[in-house]
Amino acid sequence: MTVALTSSAPAVASIPATAVFAAGQIWATIPVTRVDVAADTPVDFTATAYGPSHTVPFVVEPLRVKSVIQTSGRTTISPCGSETLAVYLNGCAPAGGTRRRHDRRRPHDRRNPRSQARLRLHVASPCLPGREAST
């Protein structure tokens, strides 16, 4: 049995034109190929066989920060102290990585390597003269 498949936005998220079911098969895995988008983009996928159609809505999301957590659970950084943050993305970084600014006061970036959805940042308080780190 052959089922016809369509995407409402094939330039954003494409699927094969058909899915072929063998005798006794009741479901199939359909690959979806998507492109990077700048904003949430709605896409409907439709399957049709012997007249009836069924549509499922999806939203193709742009790459964005999903969450940031302190790995120690602390909520303060003491003078000359440090903390490590974990930044999670909603998907894998694209080929070549992605840059996310991690300190608004400092213009340098951290690169998130390709195919990685988590980036660890180390944040350290600068030691001021006369304020040495305590042991």
The whole-number pLDDT of residue 88 equals 84
The whole-number pLDDT of residue 19 equals 94
Q: Could you tell me the two tokens for 77?
A: 């950084």
13 versus 84: which is more confidently predicted? 13
| pTM of the predicted structure, to 2 decimals | 0.60
Q: Which residues pair with 53 in a beta bridge?
A: 48
Cβ-based neighbour number of residue 131 at 10 Å: 12
The whole-number pLDDT of residue 18 equals 96
Q: Is 47 helix (H, G, I), strand (E, B) or coil?
A: strand
Rg, Å, the chain Cα set: 23
32 versus 123: which is more confidently predicted? 32
Average pLDDT over residues 36-60: 93
DSSP 67: E
Cβ-based neighbour number of residue 25 at 10 Å: 10
**Closest to 67 (Cα-Cα) out of 118, 114, 104, 115:** 118
| pLDDT classification of 105: cutoffs 50, 70, 90 | very low
Average pLDDT over residues 21-49: 93
